Structure 1
Amino acid sequence: MAPQETQSSVDGVPHVMFIPSAGMGHLLPFFRVIAALYGHGGVEVSVVTVLPTVSAAEADHFTELFAKFPGIRRVDFHLLPFDAAAEFPGHDPFLLRWEALRRSAHLLGPLVAGVSAVVTDVTLASHVIPICNEVHVPCHVLFVSCATMLSLVAYFPVHLDNNSKKKKAATGSVGDVDIPRVRRIAESWLPQPLLDLEKLFTKQFIDNGREITKADGFLVNTFDALEPAALAALRDGMVVPGFPPVYAIGPLKSHTCNKSSDEKNKPAAAGSPVAWLDEQPAKSVVYVAFGNRNAVSHEQIREIAAGLDSSGCRFLWVLKTTTVDRDDAAELADVLGAGFLDRVHGRGLVTKAWVDQEALLKHPAVGLFLSHSGWNSVTEAAAAGVPLLAWPRGGDHRVNATVVVSGGVGEWMEHWSWDGEDRLVMGAEIGEKVKEVMADAAVRARAARVGEEAAKAVAEGGTSYRNMQEFIGKLKTA
């Protein structure tokens, strides 16, 4: 890669370089923070763009970002050759991209040396933080999950060290992780790879956990009213002594929210999910989506379909059948089974298209969100005041689901299966639970209160607003 020229500042304006990772769950928070800084003024922004992207959605969103904000500098970054298939056969393509980025991270040195500050993804922290420290450039981490998960990342190496000293590691069990002043994370709630200390993901997770204490600060897409205990424990050094400053700046808003009046008044395209929602009664629709890279088995998809059918509720289902969207060529009728689309015609809409989930959740017709509880989805539901029925699929989802419950966002079906487990959750059970939560006024009221707290946090003078101002002020005085 030929390093592109960068400048630390222009006329005294700080230049911040963002280094995102792969996967829309990681990129979306980056795009939202980038848009917020760009819109604030007084900060120059550049974005390291790794090519080629893993998914079509990533490529489209990068294109949209640079088109909407032409003042943002694009720094194309080409990775070193890496025979991922030979070294790690069968691994998640996004995890392999993180590994490829880590192996090429030293190439970032000339770029990082020319900026005022860096904001990196946590998956790259163990490599980017040392580079920044060498050239005396402040390095912040944008943490794309919840503060509770950040406390787990920080404390997990300590937990392993304690287990080793107590000689518990010989049992082969990681065990429950009791995070000081936060909560006990049951072993069954941990991201599945963490149960095997030899896995690539686990080694990266531990390396990042040890290195993040040397960062200059953390930006987290959460707000104080949602995770008071975790944020207080991190800030007070109770999780790890001397932990860097934590700026809770969420819930982050999509850069697509800043539309012109003409765009806002433009009617929804015929046949689009928004146009269909426009025809539905208030709070009558169950929105169903399991993230942009969490494919559910075809057998489980059929049971979800049966459950939505038997619930009697209206529903909008954004269906995904593969991990990488470029590979998603299955026909809906084949996946859902003969006759399903005809049976639910008019009452349900199923689409494989990319949607603006944030806008859908804010639509007055949506009354419940059946979700994998990815953190972007949780914060978008919280901001919209829509109850979330959490069905974790893997990764950090069960940790996030603890916040769904404690924060009042919704309910968690803890016994429902997730990736790697053979048990199917049957349609009858899904249908009954959906119908039950849709009719639960108390759940709806709690979610509405969370929405009010989210709005207060990001409003002028709110906790997240003040945290963002403090972060920007730190950039300008560095």
Structure 2
Amino acid sequence: MAPPHVALFPCSGMGSLTPFLRLAATLAARGCAVAVITLHPTVSAAESDYISSFFSLHPHIKRVEFQPQLSLEKSKFLNIDPFLMQVEAISNSLHLLDPILAALSPPLSAIISDFQVARSMCRFASNNSISAYVLATTSAIFFSILVLLPKINNGGIFQEIGHLQLPGLGPVPFSSIAPQLLDSNHFMSAILDSNIPCLSEVKGILFNSFSELESETIEALNSGRVIPDLAPVLALGPLNSFEEEKAPYNLLPWLDEQAPESVLYVSFGSRMALPMNQILELRDGLEKSGCKFLWVLKTNKVDKDDKEDVQTILGESFLERTKKQGVVIKGWVKQDQILAHPAIGGFLSHCGWNSVTEAARLGVPILAWPLNGDQKLNAEVVEKAGIGLWADWGWRGEVLVAGDDIAKKISELMTAAKVRVKANEVKAKVRLVRSESGGDLDVLLGSLIDQLKPQEK
């Protein structure tokens, strides 16, 4: 039988793109023919650079460019996020993708899509007698919230003061659910709601997660206790970077000079920036902590708009005082290479799911400072797994966190022996799971690839 020919369709933003490209590389390495649908233009420069790097390293993977059409009509939903605006354009243009996918040679045997376009991809798969899968780009607990959103918003979930009682999962604080998800007029709520029904039609739901982080939630999803008739859930994580074995780049010489586990890596991801007054408090907190630090500074949601230099933002005097203590940079970095460096001893993170799984895989303790979206629920996963601490300082911009408080939390993380031991235990268990011959992930991937093969007609 011919190998499976699989198309992967990520949506907007690095949070979606990263796990999709990692899965694409994994499938291609196991003999699958792989095509990746890429958006043109991308919202951020980081996406464009990452895509270019991926295809230069994997020339055997087919690139299928898709340019969504911008609507001239004003959206009927609340939507001012540039990444979500691109998702809305994608949703309105998906009919243009059908003939492109149908013309691929050899014919597709399966398509793996982002949840936000699952309904259209299920329709395409049904019309062309191929298998459809969803790759969830968030944690299993947040995904559970998403599939339960209609019941939550219709009052079908039992509510206590300050909490929701989720079927099969127990209580979740209202404060951990991003407000836009509970607003039926918001585009995010609407797009999720429209795609939920197809989750019983896909052949499987893939997660960049693993049992050391979310065994109970994954089991609850697979048992039907969360929502009946849900497709089988397959935990394929943590997915490897497709470029981490390549030669290091120019940030690492500074790290080479630092003591083992002495440096705090600070990054809030590719789609989120702290308000300017909070950036200045973080600056003060890093200095007061006395801890060595590597800070990836971001001041705008879209990196193309990030024009000011580090000196202008933080001040020459701060950079002079801390020149032996830390390094501040702007722009996209190879985070896996940084987290894998022996000098890194902690990670101050917004708790985007890619960041959580990367840190867990590499044994780096996390100081969780969630800002938006799925991040509070991801922070709870980190805390429950024992691999980090959660600084619950509200959603982005709700409160101004003082530099002194930030310094205390940094010191607490960097001296938290139990957290460090647990993080290293998880790292060791991940190595066993990822064993290339007979490990749990090896067996699971083999089973998935068998399912991806062309259906008998």
Which TM-score bucket, shorter chain as reference?
A: over 0.9
> Does structure 2 retain, via aligned residues, the 8 Å contact 1:249–1:468?
yes
Residue 114 of structure 2 corresponds to residue 107 of structure 1: no
2:215 alignment partner in structure 1: 228
2:441 to 425, 448, 464: 464
Cα deviation digits, residues 378-414 of structure 1 (max 9, x gap): 0011011110010001010011111101122211112
> Does structure 2 retain, via aligned residues, the 8 Å contact 1:393–1:419?
yes
Residue 30 of structure 2 corresponds to residue 40 of structure 1: yes
2:420 alignment partner in structure 1: 444
1:8 alignment partner in structure 2: none
How far 1:436 moved relative to its partner? Answer: 1.6
Residue 117 of structure 2 corresponds to residue 130 of structure 1: no
1:55 to 44, 54, 59: 44
1:302 to 271, 280, 283: 280
Residue 37 of structure 2 aligns with an amino acid whose one-letter code is V
1:253 to 240, 257, 263: 240
Residue 200 of structure 1 aligns with an amino acid whose one-letter code is F
2:71 to 67, 78, 82: 82
1:210 to 197, 203, 212: 197
CA distance in 1, matches of 2:441, 2:162: 34
Counterpart secondary structure, 1:369 = strand
How far 1:337 moved relative to its partner? Answer: 3.3
2:257 alignment partner in structure 1: 279
Cα deviation digits, residues 438-467 of structure 1 (max 9, x gap): 111111111111111222221133332222
2:112 alignment partner in structure 1: 119
Residue 449 of structure 2 aligns with an amino acid whose one-letter code is I
Structure 1 residue ranges, 4+ long, deviating more than 4 angstroms after superposition: 84-90
**Would the alpha carbon gap of residues 275 and 353 (structure 1) be closer, same or farther in structure 2, given more than 3 Å must change?**
farther
Counterpart secondary structure, 2:213 = coil
2:387 alignment partner in structure 1: 409
**Would the alpha carbon gap of residues 336 and 90 (structure 1) be closer, same or farther in structure 2, given more than 3 Å must change?**
farther
1:67 alignment partner in structure 2: 56
Counterpart secondary structure, 1:227 = helix
Residue 451 of structure 1 aligns with an amino acid whose one-letter code is K
Residue 419 of structure 2 aligns with an amino acid whose one-letter code is V
1:336 alignment partner in structure 2: 314
CA distance in 1, matches of 2:122, 2:178: 24
Equivalent positions of 1:392-431 (< 5 A) are: 392-414=370-392, 416-421=393-398, 423-431=399-407
CA distance in 2, matches of 1:131, 1:174: 43
After TM superposition, the score normalised by the length of structure 1 is 0.90
How far 1:287 moved relative to its partner? Answer: 0.6
How far 1:88 moved relative to its partner? Answer: 6.4
| 94-103 or 56-65, which deviates more | 56-65
Counterpart secondary structure, 2:453 = helix
How far 1:87 moved relative to its partner? Answer: 6.1
2:225 alignment partner in structure 1: 238
1:351 alignment partner in structure 2: 329
Identical positions, percent: 40
Residue 252 of structure 1 aligns with an amino acid whose one-letter code is L
After TM superposition, the score normalised by the length of structure 2 is 0.93
> Does structure 2 retain, via aligned residues, the 8 Å contact 1:129–1:139?
yes
**Would the alpha carbon gap of residues 350 and 420 (structure 1) be closer, same or farther in structure 2, given more than 3 Å must change?**
closer
CA distance in 2, matches of 1:470, 1:245: 13
Cα deviation digits, residues 200-220 of structure 1 (max 9, x gap): 111112222333222110110
| 355-364 or 466-475, which deviates more | 466-475
How far 1:137 moved relative to its partner? Answer: 1.9
Counterpart secondary structure, 1:315 = strand
Cα deviation digits, residues 317-339 of structure 1 (max 9, x gap): 01111111111111212211351
**Would the alpha carbon gap of residues 86 and 196 (structure 1) be closer, same or farther in structure 2, given more than 3 Å must change?**
closer
Counterpart secondary structure, 1:225 = helix
> Does structure 1 retain, via aligned residues, the 8 Å contact 2:132–2:202?
yes
1:29 to 19, 27, 32: 19
How far 1:258 moved relative to its partner? Answer: 4.3
CA distance in 1, matches of 2:73, 2:401: 34
Residue 77 of structure 1 aligns with an amino acid whose one-letter code is F
Residue 115 of structure 2 aligns with an amino acid whose one-letter code is V
2:141 alignment partner in structure 1: 148
| 453-462 or 59-68, which deviates more | 453-462
CA distance in 2, matches of 1:95, 1:160: 21
CA distance in 2, matches of 1:216, 1:177: 29
How far 1:128 moved relative to its partner? Answer: 2.0
1:3 alignment partner in structure 2: none
2:166 alignment partner in structure 1: 179
Root-mean-square deviation (Å): 2.1
Residue 256 of structure 1 aligns with an amino acid whose one-letter code is E
2:362 to 380, 384, 393: 384
1:323 to 274, 297, 301: 301
CA distance in 1, matches of 2:220, 2:57: 38
* Structure 1 unaligned regions, length at least 5: 1-10
How far 1:130 moved relative to its partner? Answer: 2.5
> Does structure 2 retain, via aligned residues, the 8 Å contact 1:417–1:424?
no
Equivalent positions of 1:365-376 (< 5 A) are: 365-376=343-354
> Does structure 2 retain, via aligned residues, the 8 Å contact 1:176–1:187?
yes
Counterpart secondary structure, 1:393 = coil
CA distance in 1, matches of 2:365, 2:317: 30
Cα deviation digits, residues 153-200 of structure 1 (max 9, x gap): 222223334439x9x9xxxx9974322222322111112311322111
CA distance in 2, matches of 1:102, 1:178: 32
Report how many residues are paired: 450
